Amino acid sequence: MPATAYSQLESRFRRMALLSEAAGVLHWDAAAIMPDGGAPARSEQLAELKAVVHGLMTAPDMGDLISDAEAASGDLDDWQRANLREISHQWIKSTALPEDLVVALSRACSACETVWRGARAQSDFTAVKPLLQEVLNLTREAGFAKAEATGLSLFDALLDDYEPGGRCADIDVIFGELETFLPGFLQDVLEHQAQQPAAILPEGPFPVETQKALGEKFMTALGFDFGHGRLDVSLHPFCGGIPEDVRITTRYDQDDFTSSLMGVLHETGHALYERGLPERWRRQPVGEALGMSIHESQSLLVEMQVCRSRTFLNWAAPIMRDAFSGGGPAWDIDNLHRLYTCVQPGFIRVDADEVTYPAHVILRYRLERALLGEDLSLDDLPAAWNDGMKELLGIVPANDAEGCLQDVHWYDGAWGYFPTYTLGAMTAAQLYAAARDADPGIATSIGQGDFAPLMAWLRTHVHGKARLMHAPELLTEATSRPLDPAVFKAHLQARYLP
């Protein structure tokens, strides 16, 4: 019996997914353990894999297969129809790009990311600027091609790669509401904190191996399976690999274990989402994570909503204290809670608190739109960054490592990604509130180190849904409302102005 058009598509996309998985592991290796001398060869490997995948995606008969499958879609179930929808969307965007552009962009990103590591360490934006200009030029070229194929604006076409269906018009409304709310709220929080005892940072040194062991202990408690993943070190923390082999990275500071630990917990949220995606739909577009706002919601739900809560620290603080043989007021639960909920404008996004974090994202959103629209040149980026930090947070970076060099995203080709961080924070607050409403015992369980009830709810309402529906539909189904900034603001009010 001949294979149907739809089954042929599933077979092809499985092959493409396997090749993309190999590229993902190679990318992790490059960021975590590859020697510097391997960078040129790795760049060629990744470019070739992307070229092969692009060739499979844009095969001459692919359009006919999609049309034939859509004509017979009445014979498909809900998951298959959703898969076909995702296949068609990916195909439309892929066919907009010629193979030589795909290869050139891959090579440019690999080269730029490699040089960025040294430039960041030396706080030397000029060292990486020519390579970033090449990435930006090629990104604009690819973005315009996708925009023409999809009928979207340049930025919306790039945003769609990270937030399917996301649009600047909607983000502008949400971010505008936050920009109205946060400055006054931040001032109120700072005044409130000034009346409380100052948070004390426990004194180190904190050996890296002890920090790693502590992080792994909490990862295991959350449900991370070390038979299907690992924890390593990189310049910029991230979660990569594949669902069956999830690779988390962090970075350590021997004088301060608190930042690294929260980074590990953040990336664990990403990893648990990947591991919870439906096995039946592995290596099919419908089985992939549902965009980055949902992905970030899972990491921020774990880190911000859960692991910075007093409930979590009631259980975790004694474990932290025992791990480092700590003693004295700095290790009291009240102090650790003040430390983990301390609000203070700072330069580094990944270390920012919940209240100031949206300002970091809004700044990057403004700048990348200006750069893509050619309203800002890379020559002026460092100064524009510093001006934005002064406007939004009242502080000015002392150097580019604290400013426009701190994030890997632009240097690695991720343009249009940044808005998803704050959308994810808002989504996290809404999902966690809904989970606790559905199961009031979740908070009590967390206070006892039992995260299974929360993870079970997330598996059912988020992880297991993959791309069966779009993000707004998933959130409405899980929480009985679309994304509502009021929920996030209520969370901030309750935590920081009790």
Closest of 273, 272, 288 to residue 82, by C-alpha: 288
Q: Tell me the HSE value of 39 on the side-chain side, using a 13 A CA sphere.
A: 16
Give the separation between CA 473 and CA 461, rounded to whole angstroms: 11
Cβ atoms of 442 and 436 closer than 8 Å: yes
For the sheet with 229-233, list strands across it: 229-233, 245-250, 239-242
Give the separation between CA 202 and CA 214, rounded to whole angstroms: 15
CB atoms within 10 A of CB 261: 23
In order, the DSSP letters of 137-154 are: HHHHHHHHHHHHHHT--H
> What angle (nearest 5°) sits at the alpha carbon of residue 317, between those of residues 311 and 318?
120
Q: Tell me the HSE value of 35 on the side-chain side, using a 13 A CA sphere.
A: 2
Give the separation between CA 494 and CA 83, rounded to whole angstroms: 40
| Structure token pair of residue 107 | 């090579």
Give the bridge partners for 248, in sequence order.
Answer: 231, 239
Closest of 484, 466, 365, 480 to residue 429, by C-alpha: 484
By CB atoms closer than 10 A (0-12, 13-18, 19+), residue 418 is buried
354 flagged as catalytic: no
Cβ atoms of 234 and 249 closer than 8 Å: yes
- Decide: helix, strand or coil at residue 194: helix
3-class DSSP string for 281-348: HCCCHHHCCCHHHHHHHHHHHHHHHHCCCHHHHHHHHHHHHHHCCCCCHHHCHHHHHHHHCCCCCCCC
> What angle (nearest 5°) sits at the alpha carbon of residue 195, between those of residues 190 and 197?
105
Its sign, for the CA torsion 193, 195, 196, 199, is positive
Closest of 41, 93, 40, 85 to residue 66, by C-alpha: 85
Q: Which residue of the set 113, 267, 288, 402 is catalytic?
A: 267
Closest of 154, 180, 178 to residue 168, by C-alpha: 154
> Which amino acids are annotated catalytic?
267
